[in-house]
Structure 1
Amino acid sequence: MEINGLLSKLPKGMRLFIGTFVIVLSVGFYTGLLFVSETSTTNPKGIEENYLGNEVDEDAEIMKFKKSERQMLTIVHTHILSMSLVFFLIGVLVWLTNTSIKLKLFLTIEPFLSVLLTFGGIYFLWSGVTWFKYVIMFSGFLMTATYSISAMLVLYQLTVSKKPMNIINQ
């Protein structure tokens, strides 16, 4: 079965359904990034303070305390599960686009590595391996970039319609 380019050949109603899903998924994804921005975790010091606390910093505007093990396990567990599903779903759609295999492989495999590095890295940071804050920043950036490229690619290919296939008779 040939799936390359299938997305743009789907009937208009299915393309509209998938496009709406990708837009709503993107709203959720980018809202999460806004939350990260609000918690000052977009720089190495902020990442460290968010999980290890800042109670020794007398000049801190907002007092933060080190997260408990239960909090950390909840954060890591829920994010790895939910982000894996997000990237699985967007990845399936990427595989239905008319794009090179190498790009598809990168856009669909890399996010899973970034999810592990970002949220596993947060746990390592919390455990005392403070240099992991840089891994967290880089992998978080890469995860966001691959999501953005994937979502734009899917939305673009949904709008570039080819002759719709009759999926009932296939």
Structure 2
Amino acid sequence: MKLNGLILTLPNELKVLIGAFVIVLSIGFYTGLLFVGETSSANPNGIEEQYLGNENDEDAEVMHFKKSDQEMLTLVHNHILSMSIIFFLLGILVAITKLNKKLKLFLMIEPFLSVLLTFGGLYLLWCGHLWMKYIVMISGILMTLTFTLSAFIVLKQLLQNNK
């Protein structure tokens, strides 16, 4: 079965369904990023404070306490499961786009690595490996860029006519 470019030949009803899915998925994804920005100041030290607390900082504007075992396991579990489903579905859509094979493979596989590094990194940060905050930040940025590019490519190709 030839997958490369299959998205261009889909019936309009299916294209509309896929387009609606990718748009709503993107709204959910970027809303999550807004939440991250609000809770961690979107910087390595903010990430550290969010999970390890800042109760020793008397000048802190907002007091944060170290997350409990249960909170961390719930966060890591929920995010790894949900993000893997999100990127699996988006990866299937990328698989049927007309795209260079290497770029397509990168867009399909990289998010899974970023999910593991981001949320596994948060757990390791919480365990005391403070340098992981940089890995979390970099992998989170890469995951966001990959999501954005994948969603853009799918939406753009949905709007193209089969030639």
User: Structure 1 length normalisation: TM-score?
Assistant: 0.94
Measured in 2, the distance between the counterparts of 1:116 and 1:142 equals 12
Measured in 2, the distance between the counterparts of 1:22 and 1:58 equals 44
Letter in 2 for 1:10: L
1:149 aligns with 149
2:122 aligns with 122
Measured in 1, the distance between the counterparts of 2:106 and 2:3 equals 17
Higher relative contact order (CA 8 A, sep 6+): 1
Matched, 1:113 2:103: no
| Deviation sequence 1:82-141 (CA, Å, 0-9, x none) | 000000000000000000110011001100000000000000000000000000000000
Maintained 8 Å contact 1:54/1:65: yes
After superposition, the CA RMSD in angstroms is 0.7
What secondary structure sits across from 2:57 in the alignment?
coil
What secondary structure sits across from 1:87 in the alignment?
helix
| Deviation sequence 1:11-58 (CA, Å, 0-9, x none) | 111101100000000000000000001102410110000000000001
1:38 aligns with 38
1:80 aligns with 80
- Paired residues, what number? 163
Q: Map 1:1-170 to 2 at 5 A.
A: 1-162=1-162
Measured in 1, the distance between the counterparts of 2:7 and 2:34 equals 30
Runs of 4+ in 1 over 2 A off after TM superposition: none
Maintained 8 Å contact 1:41/1:50: no
For the pair shown, the structure with the greater C-alpha radius of gyration is: 1
What secondary structure sits across from 1:17 in the alignment?
helix
Maintained 8 Å contact 1:76/1:123: yes
What secondary structure sits across from 1:39 in the alignment?
helix
What secondary structure sits across from 2:40 in the alignment?
coil
